[in-house]
Amino acid sequence: MMTRTMKVLLMIFSASSKGGRGVCPGFFPLILTALLFPVTGLTASLGPDISVPSRDTLILKLSDDAIAASPSPATTEGLSAQALAQQVRVHIERSRATGSPRPLGLAQGLLDQVPEQRWTPEVYLMRATLRQRLHRFDEAEADLSRVLQAEPNNAQAWLTRYSIALVRGDIATASRACNELAEVMASLLAESCTQEVASLGEQPEAAFRRLRQAVDKAPSASAVEHDYALVTLADMASRLNLPSAGDYWQQSLLSDPGDLYRRARYADWLLSNNQPDKALQITQGYEEIDTLAVLRAIALKRLDDPKQQALSEILDERFAEARWRGEFLHEWEYARYLLDVQNDSEGALEMARANWETQRAYPDRELLIRAAQAAGDQQVLQDLGIDNREAQPL
């Protein structure tokens, strides 16, 4: 109502002062100019600048993975459950490889087009993985329960349940899932998860040693299992602050350079071990991946590199758009950015706590501790069972 009255008054003042001369414009026009000054800004158009490129300007490479090979809706007619699961898997794999969440949406779109009556446990398993990627852990769990009810020996489902439980900090569930996995297939894979769970208990060093020995004793295990064990060892070594952690990360990155997770973890390890120049090297060309871009921005800042400004601007825009969208999958990244690039410990703590609501793995815990220390929040540290003096900076 107040605004309305103000508008009425403004209208009337403006009506009674139109054409006022410059020499002595009168009182109302002066007030009016002052009042209208912010209003004139309103005529500015919304949104970023628009340009019209020349006709031969290349504006998109259609060979990009994001567009190529996406199944058209027409092909879902009469799609078998097996083919559906396969296509969803292709999308999830593409998302993992490119770090882009776009294919996850396409996977969801495919699933929506095939009625659930036709789904097999395999399709539910794919949806569980999709939901895991979207941090919808409860929904993913529901799908896994369904799969495991139908196929109690589905090792992939047990492993997925294990991963989710571990990320959520639910050690009991992780341990049960790992035991089930070992029942289904006694292997290096089962040994990896067994020792990983053990490393979260009383004797982490012993667990690390046991897994290392298991790797040495299983030369015939598949490459996949070896790789899994290697990443698990790298994770464990990081948690134990072993100097060999760097070697494990480097080795695991070499064995799969396209994997963004290990690249990010290695870059993070390099940063926390005072090697920002190396972190810069392995994040080069990965600015599109938020996790790697944030770690790169931290490295640039540590090196006082002038390029940090431009990268920070890009990240600011990305996070602003992510906040606008609302479904925030980047809490860890954003918290890290606020803490280590923007020096905003309060904002970082808020984000790290939001991240902690859904994700409770080692990097999530480390970040929360560091943000709480920077913000001087003793309560958070107490809740985590941390004595401020003994906490280790990442």
Of 305-364, binders to another protein (CB under 8 A) are: 314, 317-318, 321-322, 324-327, 329-330, 332-333, 359, 361, 363-364
With respect to another protein, which residue has the nearer C-beta, 263 or 278?
A: 263
Which residue from 160, 169, 230, 159 is spatially nearest to 190, judged by alpha carbons? 159
Interface with another protein, residue 64, by CB under 8 A? yes
Q: Which residues, 224 to 253, sit near another protein by CB under 8 A? A: 224-225, 227-228, 231
Rounded-to-integer distance, Cα 369 and Cα 392, Å: 9
**Cβ nearer to another protein, comparing 344 with 364:** 364
Tokens of residue 363, six digits: 């990097």
Angle, CA of 22, 23 and 24, to the nearest 5°: 95
How near is the Cβ of 7 to another protein at its closest, in Å? 8
Residue 259 binds another protein (CB under 8 A): yes
Closest CA to 210 of 186, 194, 187, 226: 194
Task: Confirm or reject binding of residue 206 to another protein (CB under 8 A).
Answer: no
> What 3-state class would DSSP assign to 136?
coil
Q: How buried is residue 298: exposed, middle or buried, by Cβ count under 10 Å (0-12/13-18/19+)?
A: buried
Contact between 264 and another protein by CB under 8 A: the answer reads yes
Among 2, 34, 40, 53, binds another protein (CB under 8 A): 53
Q: Can residue 301 be called a binding residue for another protein (CB under 8 A)?
A: no
Position 179 contacts another protein (CB under 8 A): no
Stretch that binds another protein, among 21-29, 196-204, 243-251, 374-382 (CB under 8 A): 21-29
Q: Which of residues 129-168 bind another protein (CB under 8 A)?
A: 129, 132-135, 155-156, 159-160, 163, 167
CA 31/CA 159 separation, integer angstroms: 70
Cβ proximity to another protein, 218 vs 329, nearer residue: 329
SS (H, E, C) 328-379: CCCHHHHHHHHHHCCCCHHHHHHHHHHHHHHCCCHHHHHHHHHHHHHHCCHH
49 binds another protein (CB under 8 A): yes
